[in-house]
Amino acid sequence: MKNAHALSRRKFLKLAAIGAAGVSLAACAAPPPRVEAPTQPQPTEAPKAMEPEGEITYVTHDPTTYRDKVKERFNKKYPKIKVNMQQIPSDFPTKIFASAAAGTLADVVRVWEPMVLDFGRAGQLIDLQPYVDAEKDFRPDDFIESLWNFPVIDGKRYGIADGWNGHLLFYNKDLFDAAQVPYPTEDWTWDQYVEAARKISKPDEKIWGSDTIPIGWLHWSYKNVWQNGGQVYNADYTECLLDSPEAAEGVQYWADLLQEAEIMPSPTQAEGLGDLFQTGRVALQRMGSWAIAALAEAKFKWDMVPEPKRKERRTLLHTAFNVIPTTTKNKDIAWLWINELVSPDSLFDMTHANGTPAARRSVNERKPWVREGIEANWDVVPAAGDYGILVPAPPNVGEVEKIQADAFQAIYLGQRKAADAFKEIAPQVTKALQRK
Partner 1 sequence: MRQTIEGYLFISPWIIGFILFTFLPVAASFVMSFFNWRLIQAPVFVGVENYVNMFTADPLFGQSLQVTLIYVVVAVPLQLAFALFLAMLLNQRVRLLPFFRTVFYLPAVVSGVAVAVLWQWLYHPDLGLINEMLRWFGIKGPAWLVSPQWALPAIIFMSLWTVGGTMITFLAALQGIPQHLYEAAELDGAGERAKFWHITLPMLSPVIFFNLVLGIIVGFQTFTQAYIMTKGGPLNATMFYALYLYLNAFNFLKMGYASALAWVLFLIILVITIAQLKLSRRWVYYEFEEARA
Shortest reach from residue 364's CB to partner 1, in Å: 34
Distance CA 137, CA 374 (A): 35
Shortest reach from residue 27's CB to partner 1, in Å: 12
**Exposed, middle or buried, 53 (CB in 10 Å: 0-12/13-18/19+)?**
exposed
User: Of residues 9, 69, 156, 417, which one binds partner 1 by CB under 8 A?
Assistant: 9
167 vs 416, beta carbon nearer partner 1? 416
Under rule CB under 8 A, which residues in 14-53 are in contact with partner 1? 15-17, 19-21, 25, 32-33
Q: Does residue 87 touch partner 1 according to CB under 8 A?
A: no
Residue 56 pairs in a beta bridge with 83
Q: Does residue 211 touch partner 1 according to CB under 8 A?
A: no
Distance CA 17, CA 285 (A): 54
5 vs 136, beta carbon nearer partner 1? 5
Distance CA 375, CA 272 (A): 31
Q: Does residue 279 touch partner 1 according to CB under 8 A?
A: no
Q: Does residue 192 touch partner 1 according to CB under 8 A?
A: no
Q: Residue 34 belongs to what H/E stretch?
A: none
User: Of residues 1, 6, 37, 49, which one binds partner 1 by CB under 8 A?
Assistant: 6
DSSP 359: S
Shortest reach from residue 413's CB to partner 1, in Å: 6
Shortest reach from residue 424's CB to partner 1, in Å: 12
Q: Does residue 245 touch partner 1 according to CB under 8 A?
A: no
Residue 170 pairs in a beta bridge with 285, 304
DSSP 204: G
Under rule CB under 8 A, which residues in 95-154 are in contact with partner 1? 97-98, 100-101, 118-119, 122-124
DSSP 131: H
User: Of residues 39, 86, 94, 149, which one binds partner 1 by CB under 8 A?
Assistant: 94
Distance CA 292, CA 201 (A): 23
- Cα 44–66–108 angle (5° rounding)? 45
Shortest reach from residue 69's CB to partner 1, in Å: 33
Q: Does residue 271 touch partner 1 according to CB under 8 A?
A: yes
Q: Does residue 180 touch partner 1 according to CB under 8 A?
A: no
Which of the ranges 12-20, 73-81, 228-236, 303-311 carries the binding residues for partner 1, by CB under 8 A? 12-20
Shortest reach from residue 9's CB to partner 1, in Å: 6
315 with 225: CB under 8 angstroms?
no
Strand, helix or coil at 264? Answer: coil
Which of the ranges 9-17, 181-189, 243-251, 364-372 carries the binding residues for partner 1, by CB under 8 A? 9-17
Distance CA 289, CA 379 (A): 12
- Can you say whether residue 22 is alpha, beta or left, with left for phi > 0 and alpha for psi between -120 and 50 degrees? left
Buried b (16+ CB within 10 A) or exposed e, 385-397: bebbbbbbbbbbb
Q: Does residue 199 touch partner 1 according to CB under 8 A?
A: no
* C-alpha atoms less than 13 angstroms from C-alpha of 304 in its C-beta half-sphere: 30
User: Of residues 230, 267, 357, 388, which one binds partner 1 by CB under 8 A?
Assistant: 267
Residue 172 pairs in a beta bridge with 302
- From residue 289 to residue 328, the character string flagging contacts with partner 1 as x (rule: CB under 8 A) and all else as - is ----------------------------------------
DSSP 22: S
Strand, helix or coil at 292? Answer: helix
Shortest reach from residue 367's CB to partner 1, in Å: 38
User: Of residues 47, 272, 274, 373, which one binds partner 1 by CB under 8 A?
Assistant: 272
Which residues in this chain contact partner 1 in the complex, by CB under 8 A? 3, 5-9, 12-13, 15-17, 19-21, 25, 32-33, 93-94, 97-98, 100-101, 118-119, 122-124, 216, 267-269, 271-273, 396, 398-399, 402, 406, 409-410, 413, 415
